[in-house]
Structure 1
Amino acid sequence: MSGNGDKVVLKSCFDCVKSIESVYTGGCVAINKDESRLFTTCNEDIEVLDLSTGAKVAELKGDTEIITSFAVKPDGTHLVAASRSQLITIWDLSTFKTVRSFKAHDAPIITMDIDQTSTLVATGSADSTVKVWDIDRGYCTHNFKGHGGLITSVKFHPSKDKLCLVSSSDDGIIRVWNLKTGKCESVLESHVSVVRSIDFTQDDEGQHMITAGRDKVINVWNWKRKSLVRTIPVYETIEAAGLLAAGTEIGFGNKNTRVIYSGGENGTLRLWDMDSGEELFVQTKELNAKHAFVSVLYLPQAQNLVAVTNDQNLLFYGVTKRLERERQIVGYNEEIIDMAYVGRDQRYLAVATNTEQLRVYNTSDLNCELAYGHKDIILCLSVHSGCSIMATGSKDNMAMVWVVNMSAPANRRVTCVATALGHTKAVGAVCLAQGAGCPFMITGSEDRTVKMWDLSPLRAIIDNPESAVAAISESGPIKLRSLYTFQAHDKDINSICVAPSDTIFATGSQDKTAKVWDVATGKPLGTLQGHRRGVWNVAFSPVDRVIATTSADRTVKLWSLSDFGCLKTLEGHTNSVLCVEFLTKGTQLMTTGSDGLIKLWNIKDAECVLTLDKHENKIWTLAKQQSEEFVATGGADSTIYIWKDTTQDEIERLHKEDAKLLEQQQALDNFLAAKDYRNAILLTLSLDQPHRLLNIFRDVMTAAEHRHALSSEDSADADDQDAKRAIMGTHAVDEVIGTLASDQLERLLGYVRNWNTNGKFAHIAQAALYCILTQYTSKDILALPSAKDLIAAVQPYSERHFSRFDGLLTDSFIIDYTLHAMDSVHPAGMEALTIGDSDSDGEL
């Protein structure tokens, strides 16, 4: 909103400036060698992301089949991908275009690796074969057979001289292939289950190899002798393991310790001493976190381990910081259920999805903070006006209060400080008081009851959110006490909203009613009846004693808090209206619906002034900044769109256009006064003012006719003879028409077509048409983009006068650019323009 003083400027324009979409839906993940780009599998495509910001750089479109594996060349120039179609596709990462595709195996490719020279790619398939391909030339150099099951892992030896490839299959057998001889030189049979990872030491040119798998052990091998050195029992299914760079400072053991990292079904990273088999460190699993690790990537430059979880998140842990979580990239959000802006500058967006994690996005760089605490899906959230205190409700029958401090170190930015346990079913609605100190919280549940919770024990934390972590770390979250409980509705409670004064609150329910209650006592004050289906959302006006409700009956209703009567009903959505917010000092509403539409309403006249259509499914939630500069929407399409209020920009643009138009109109008047017909006609065409151009032509032709009548007795006047010979009354106008640009000519022909339908203007239209036909070739006219529309009909005029256009048509027809049907040409138009013999001039 913008304005001077108390003036309210109604919003009328919102532009989508950012989106938070799915970037990873499970499968392969890779990072290029210089650690600048992240590559993820997203359904049938591969997303290319900027690793520092998480922003999408490009999308590599697949062949409509799911991507099964891919790898990036160490030199970063190409990406090799395989899909269920059994095709290998090579992408140029400078242009993000396909270089070539070819069929590789008789079954899907499960794993692949590219050698250090970026020349060869090894592919392991479900057909039990391993093949090696020349990437740039696209042909197979080796075809290794011998495994008895599907190939689960392949890895090139790091030495350029040895030219060896190691592969494993689901029976636990590891084979070493010599690329020079094309034969298997060793078979290693120590694992008893699927081998998921193979890696080599770099400090001794690969003299040791580690292998890890689902048999819950890590094996260390002497590469030269192909013998087992030791087995490290890890007591969990391992999905990823590898070696840290030699000399990495991890804070455990001595500097020369060679460290193995591992991750698997427990969802924690563990570090091991390769030489002794001792466990150096294990992460503490986060509260109520249910994820497992399906892959772990090592970034030696950033000293990060990137754990890929089975719930499609990428967690970045600092190797030198005791494996503390530094950053997260959320790959997939499922349905967006609820959202709210948080943080003192409101750059962050708290999001509830179909998971037990609370997600807080930085809208500047799309990095995401994950907060664990709930045991089941979070259904709703509410933020205090100070934007540092937040409440959530979940299917675990519990509500939680959180402190948000985004300036704190990573992993301490969102802290659960209190829990509210008492409902017997899922908590589907929650609202915090908005006044100073945030004294209470209201919750509503599927058990149809409403509870008020005393937040006074949190006063010290609420007044000083920075102290939350220290205050809670020792004792744990505070258990809140409810002040009253009552049954509010006959069906599920969908929404709760506390009035700005904190004295009353409203509830909306599936029982088709909304009710207003006294905060202090919990007693009912009134019932809002009138919706024909369940009420999805309730919201109080920030300035008036008015409440808005949305319903599955496709309407929005405004109610008076004085007598609880319906003031207005807004209709326009084609399906359930799910969410509503007051904007612009209570003079406007924004709503979202199951029809995927966002609508902006002026309350005074109940008019919908803007409809935004970008979502592909129902929009469950709408969040606004307190400044109302940005609003965010999210829904069942798993996408969050951020919209910016560009009303003021649009107003300024229109003002500039109006000022420019006034200047052009003045310039046009000046041109006409000076009889500068060239600039006058060109400016009129650019302004798209056909009536003004018609008047110019009419004035010029009328003046010419008048001069012709006056000079008829004196035919020796050269000027009058020139005027007589000019088609449009003066050679200056004829010359302008004969030198128009193609877009200007196209526009003029469109005007002529319309003028010719009116008997008053038909003679001017025919004169202009004749002027065009005598100065442009058939190729010029046929080259116009809308030539087919303009050449819509033909008429047997006098063929000999248009013989130069014979090539356009057959028989005795010539082009007519006037109408889609010549039958509608006004008769006066035919009579007004007489085309004489070849040795005479046209006469008006």
Structure 2
Amino acid sequence: MPDTPRKPQYKTSFKSTLTIGSLFTGGKASITPDEQYLVTTIGEDIDVTDIHNGKRLFRLNGDTEIITTFVITPNGKYLISSSRSLTVKIWDLKAGKCIRSFKAHEAPIIVMDVDESSTLVATGSADSTIKIWDIEGGFCTHNFRGHGGIISSLKFWKDNTRWMLISGADDCNIRIWDLTKRSCVAVLKSHVSIIRGLDVSNDGNYLLSGSRDKVANLWDLNKKKLIKTFPIYETIETIGILSPDTVISEVENSIGKELFYTGGDNGIIRIWDLQSGKLVKAQDPEKNTKYGISDIIHLHKSNYLVAITTDQNILFYDIFSGLKRIKQIVGHNDEIIDLVYVGPTESHLAIATNTEQIRLFNIDSFDNNIIYGHKDIVICLAKSSDGKFLISGSKDNTARLWKINVEAEAEERIKGCGICIGHTEAIGAVALPNKSLKFCITGSQDRTVKYWDLSQADLSKCEEEYRPKALYTHQAHEKDINSISISSDDKTFATGSQDKTIKVWSTDDGKLLGTCTGHKRGVWCVQFSPVDYTIVSSSGDKTIKIWSTNDFSCLKTFEGHTNTVLRVSFITSGLQLISSGSDGLVKIWNCKSNECVATLDNHTEKIWALTIRKDENFVASGGGDSLINLWQDCTIEEMEARVKEEEELILKEQDLSNYLLKKDYKNAIMLAISLNQPFRLLKLFTEVLNNRTEGDKSITGSESIDNIIATLSKENLEQVLKYIRDWNTNAKNYRTSQTILHAIVKSFSSQDLLEINGIKDILDGILSYTERHYQRLDRLITDSYIVDYSLHSMDLLGPLEQNLMEED
């Protein structure tokens, strides 16, 4: 017999498995000497992150003021940081703990450098002074004054047997300080702008300086004179000399040459010959980029140059291969506008982040890519059914097609394969077909939809300048088009607009088939059902609606979000919906009952983006809080755990019955407490008390129960006292509750009872009902109510029993 199709399992529970947030918000970034960890500033904190898998090792919590700079000692043992609070902190990098802090200057520290022995750190401040500190001792060894402006660069240098410090400032001067003489031994003047970088040649004879005056100067350190000036033709922000054994495979005769690198406002790393000043190699510029380079880190072991960009990204370039980009780390995501799963196994996320670039995240590793091409902010994304192609719409009025090969090397993973030009305003919605990549549809703020013919193109050739033709253009709506969805058979498509309507069109000729009206505010999202002739829509009126594609009537309305519903989609073979809104929540709905069965809360701002993996085991959401959350369906796990828990409960119930039958009071009492069954426990105590034998001197009617009560843990004792409070509300249970209370008070000291959480409220509840039943009982709660109760408890229980017997 053929297999019976399995009924889809309703989803009722998701758990957050990964949150992708910012790891660099601008300022200083560095890499540890062993090249294992990335150290970055996050506002007032510093993060230490594994450079290979992206896992944060620890966060060094600041003092609520922005970090101005930090430096790592060459031995990798310490990190020294400073903030706008003027405090310097020395951190143990292995333990992630601050071991010393002190105030260093009268103004914020701008730059730092550590000597090669990792014993001294130099700090340059906005107060125009330079101080040198003993790292282990935390005391100041030198205080240099002489610059007439903010200190902008520092470099330790060993001249034979003497330690020297070289400094640059915004007074355009370079000063050389002798640490032994504690004085300035030379002032080098040539630059006409702020000094941004200093480095000493490998033989120690020359100084290289870079400035925002767009030149690099080479100085003779022995004669303290300028030798050469190299025009760099860009504002220099960082400069450094490469190792003497550096080889660039693409450059002839690079072996043996002394080379230096520069980075600045052009956003390009360039390598120069130190002797001739000629350009040796420059990285290939990224298209339509606007970033500059604020710093470059030279990784000696890997032979990489790592560029820190002004848009908070970290780019790795291999020197040997001619500055080929081999890795990218996205430091900060702006507001997440859209995201989709891509790749054959949907192992990556393509993300639009309120910038001109598209980010490609590898979910399983720390290897990311930035897709350059658009000239303005990317608004929307859509993927092909096989996940190998992506389309993006932008405020530059174009839509671009991309081929994605996640298995290729970094620079080959994403390639442009076409650009759709024709809209007169920003493109707010794009869609690709579900069956074959023969067309794409775009919708714009110019109120039109365009059908682009891709049937004659070979997109696999990645001809970036290929321009598809628009076979038809229709004035579709009266306001901006926010969403486009293509049906599973590719025969129809739907559009949602700010004009509050959803329209359904024929794909072949763009003929309008029907209009769905009913929303009171703009429609943000439309999606076809994968199995039925229905469409789901979400709106600014806080509702979700399901529409029939036969007569375009509203079939159902879902209410539950407290603000605009921005995204919605069918899941579970059309039996459920998943939605996200401006209230920062993701909700799961059952279509049949209109019931919200789960709410996922891990965002603090509106959730613009929501995408579901094909197997529906994972959902990704992104929002205005710059966070991306990955949610895993754990419905089956929870069901299995619930079934297991119920089975264990049944077994425990059976054990409890067996213990009671055997009069195994110890196990019975402990099991009743763990099962939270106060009635069974009350019944047990009452039965033992009623069957007390003549001459029995125990409190409860059984010495074994007295002993059990005396050995209760603090948690179990708290639970039993709460039971007594509840039992005491019923006069029928007074004798049992007061007897057990007597046993507790006699077995535990007042100090033991005072350590129980909420003991006063518990005893207040017990005594209030005792007083209500027996007016002759003096009130016992005083400032030392537990001590008083302990003293009087034994005398109290006898009269209580006698009074009740007289009343009976």
TM-score using structure 1 length: 0.90
Amino acid of the structure 1 residue aligned with 2:566: L
> Post-superposition shift, 1:640?
0.6
2:613 corresponds in structure 1 to: 625
2:545 corresponds in structure 1 to: 557
Matches within 5 A, 1:671-750: 671-704=659-692, 720-723=693-696, 725-750=697-722
1:34 corresponds in structure 2 to: 34
CA deviations 1:659-684 (Å, max 9, x no partner) are 11111111111111211111111111
* Distance 1:224-1:482 versus aligned 2 partners, 3 A rule: same
Runs of 5+ in structure 1 lacking a partner?
A: 462-467, 705-719, 818-828, 837-843
1:535 corresponds in structure 2 to: 523
> Post-superposition shift, 1:5?
4.4
2:761 corresponds in structure 1 to: 789
Across the aligned residues of Structure 1 and Structure 2, the Cα RMSD in angstroms comes to: 2.7
Amino acid of the structure 2 residue aligned with 1:327: K
* Distance 1:390-1:145 versus aligned 2 partners, 3 A rule: same
Query: Could you say what secondary structure the match of 2:456 adopts?
Result: helix
2:492 corresponds in structure 1 to: 504
* Distance 1:96-1:160 versus aligned 2 partners, 3 A rule: farther
> Post-superposition shift, 1:734?
2.5
| Counterpart Cα distance in 2 of 1:224 and 1:513 | 78
| Counterpart Cα distance in 2 of 1:160 and 1:49 | 38
| Counterpart Cα distance in 2 of 1:255 and 1:480 | 48
| Counterpart Cα distance in 2 of 1:381 and 1:736 | 67
1:306 corresponds in structure 2 to: 306
Amino acid of the structure 1 residue aligned with 2:245: G
1:194 aligns to 2:211 (yes or no): no
| Counterpart Cα distance in 2 of 1:424 and 1:805 | 80
Contact (CA 8 Å) 2:534, 2:549: kept in 1 or not? yes
> Post-superposition shift, 1:418?
0.6
1:445 corresponds in structure 2 to: 444
| Counterpart Cα distance in 1 of 2:782 and 2:108 | 62
| Counterpart Cα distance in 2 of 1:7 and 1:624 | 20
| Counterpart Cα distance in 1 of 2:612 and 2:158 | 53
1:238 to 229, 236, 239: 236
Contact (CA 8 Å) 1:20, 1:366: kept in 2 or not? no
Query: Could you say what secondary structure the match of 2:561 adopts?
Result: coil
CA deviations 1:241-281 (Å, max 9, x no partner) are 11111111112233101111111111111111112222111
| Counterpart Cα distance in 2 of 1:141 and 1:539 | 69
* Distance 1:572-1:804 versus aligned 2 partners, 3 A rule: closer
| Counterpart Cα distance in 1 of 2:550 and 2:690 | 71
> Post-superposition shift, 1:804?
13
* Distance 1:18-1:161 versus aligned 2 partners, 3 A rule: farther
| Counterpart Cα distance in 1 of 2:513 and 2:297 | 59
> Post-superposition shift, 1:732?
2.6
1:208 corresponds in structure 2 to: 206
Contact (CA 8 Å) 2:419, 2:464: kept in 1 or not? no
* Distance 1:52-1:810 versus aligned 2 partners, 3 A rule: closer
| Counterpart Cα distance in 2 of 1:806 and 1:84 | 53
Query: Could you say what secondary structure the match of 1:477 adopts?
Result: coil
* Distance 1:768-1:176 versus aligned 2 partners, 3 A rule: same
Matches within 5 A, 1:418-817: 418-435=418-435, 437-458=436-457, 460-461=458-459, 468=460, 471-472=461-462, 476-704=464-692, 720-723=693-696, 725-792=697-764, 808-809=784-785
2:392 corresponds in structure 1 to: 392
1:59 corresponds in structure 2 to: 59
| Counterpart Cα distance in 2 of 1:496 and 1:810 | 71
Contact (CA 8 Å) 2:745, 2:790: kept in 1 or not? no
| Counterpart Cα distance in 2 of 1:811 and 1:663 | 42
| Counterpart Cα distance in 1 of 2:611 and 2:562 | 22
| Counterpart Cα distance in 1 of 2:528 and 2:199 | 61
* Range moving further from structure 2, 389-398 or 85-94: 85-94
* Distance 1:567-1:119 versus aligned 2 partners, 3 A rule: same
* Range moving further from structure 2, 680-689 or 71-80: 71-80
Runs of 5+ in structure 2 lacking a partner?
A: none
Contact (CA 8 Å) 2:259, 2:273: kept in 1 or not? yes
Query: Could you say what secondary structure the match of 2:291 adopts?
Result: coil
1:821 corresponds in structure 2 to: none
> Post-superposition shift, 1:811?
11
2:25 corresponds in structure 1 to: 25
> Post-superposition shift, 1:534?
0.6
CA deviations 1:770-815 (Å, max 9, x no partner) are 22222222122112123232232657999xx999999933997769
2:801 corresponds in structure 1 to: 834
Contact (CA 8 Å) 2:52, 2:366: kept in 1 or not? no
Contact (CA 8 Å) 2:444, 2:480: kept in 1 or not? yes
> Post-superposition shift, 1:284?
2.4
Query: Could you say what secondary structure the match of 1:94 adopts?
Result: coil
* Distance 1:415-1:811 versus aligned 2 partners, 3 A rule: closer
Contact (CA 8 Å) 2:381, 2:393: kept in 1 or not? yes
CA deviations 1:157-191 (Å, max 9, x no partner) are 15683210000111221000000010000111121
> Post-superposition shift, 1:410?
1.3
| Counterpart Cα distance in 2 of 1:810 and 1:763 | 20
Contact (CA 8 Å) 1:767, 1:833: kept in 2 or not? no
Contact (CA 8 Å) 1:378, 1:395: kept in 2 or not? yes
1:712 corresponds in structure 2 to: none
Contact (CA 8 Å) 2:764, 2:781: kept in 1 or not? no
| Counterpart Cα distance in 1 of 2:335 and 2:420 | 25
1:249 corresponds in structure 2 to: 247
| Counterpart Cα distance in 1 of 2:170 and 2:342 | 48
Amino acid of the structure 2 residue aligned with 1:782: L
Amino acid of the structure 2 residue aligned with 1:485: T
> Post-superposition shift, 1:833?
4.8
| Counterpart Cα distance in 2 of 1:786 and 1:811 | 16
| Counterpart Cα distance in 1 of 2:32 and 2:486 | 50
Amino acid of the structure 1 residue aligned with 2:356: E
1:359 corresponds in structure 2 to: 359
Amino acid of the structure 2 residue aligned with 1:737: I
| Counterpart Cα distance in 2 of 1:50 and 1:221 | 39
1:163 corresponds in structure 2 to: 163
1:121 corresponds in structure 2 to: 121
1:465 corresponds in structure 2 to: none
1:224 aligns to 2:237 (yes or no): no
Amino acid of the structure 2 residue aligned with 1:174: I
Contact (CA 8 Å) 1:722, 1:730: kept in 2 or not? no
> Post-superposition shift, 1:685?
0.5
Count of residue correspondences: 797
Amino acid of the structure 2 residue aligned with 1:545: Y
CA deviations 1:307-356 (Å, max 9, x no partner) are 11111111111111110111111111110000000011111000001111
* Range moving further from structure 2, 97-106 or 660-669: 97-106
Amino acid of the structure 2 residue aligned with 1:132: I
> Post-superposition shift, 1:832?
10
| Counterpart Cα distance in 2 of 1:505 and 1:361 | 29
> Post-superposition shift, 1:208?
2.0
Contact (CA 8 Å) 1:293, 1:307: kept in 2 or not? yes
Contact (CA 8 Å) 1:809, 1:815: kept in 2 or not? no
Amino acid of the structure 2 residue aligned with 1:834: E
Contact (CA 8 Å) 2:735, 2:801: kept in 1 or not? no
Query: Could you say what secondary structure the match of 1:411 adopts?
Result: helix
> Post-superposition shift, 1:644?
0.9
> Post-superposition shift, 1:752?
0.7
> Post-superposition shift, 1:4?
8.9
